[in-house]
Amino acid sequence: MTTLRTDRLLLRGWRDDDLDALAAINADPEVMRFILDGSVRDRRQSAEGLQKMRRHWEERGYGLFAVEVRETGAVIGWAGLAVPEFLPEVMPAVEIGWRLDRGSWGHGYATEAASAALRFGFVDRGLDRIISIRHVENIRSARVMEKLGLSYEFTTVVPEHNQPVAIHAISRSDYQARLGG
């Protein structure tokens, strides 16, 4: 599996000992507020999610990275690429997403991690277009999307959870133009 390094972060594959950090993140109501129906996840659900993330990498050659702070070794969440099967109207698509523990908000980690994942998708995996999906009230994620160069496309509803979401996207050509070539 690929490992990405940024100035402050290591984006890497998931290890069994990452479950504690992932379960704590998924159990925080404020973190989960804008995720699907807003429900927190228990440890078993987090363990299943970790295995699902590993399988996604094996099946597709890309996926969600564990995000680790290089200075401390602490896992603060995840960022990366996934197929948004929960929203059939955008398919086929690859989505960039992130979820960080609340103590890591406001430090630029989401933008830093997602920027590395976006580059990985376009440069290393040759994707033509990447979308991002956010709850319409999730202003923090909207700001990250804007910093990454994703443009708002439309608003829709996640069928299973009846939640309003905004779809943002960027093409490889727009990504390359932002980088100056």
Q: How does pLDDT run across 31-66, given as a tens digit for each residue?
A: 999 998 899 999 999 999 999 999 999 999 999 999
Which whole number is the average pLDDT over 128-141?
98
The structure's pTM equals 0.95
Give yes or no for residue 86 having a pLDDT over 70: yes
- pLDDT at residue 181 in the model: 58
Identify the structural domains of the chain with CATH numbers, from first to last: 4-178 (3.40.630.30)
Q: What is the largest CA-CA distance in the chain?
A: 45
Q: How does pLDDT run across 89-98, given as a tens digit for each residue?
A: 999 999 999 9
- pLDDT at residue 180 in the model: 81
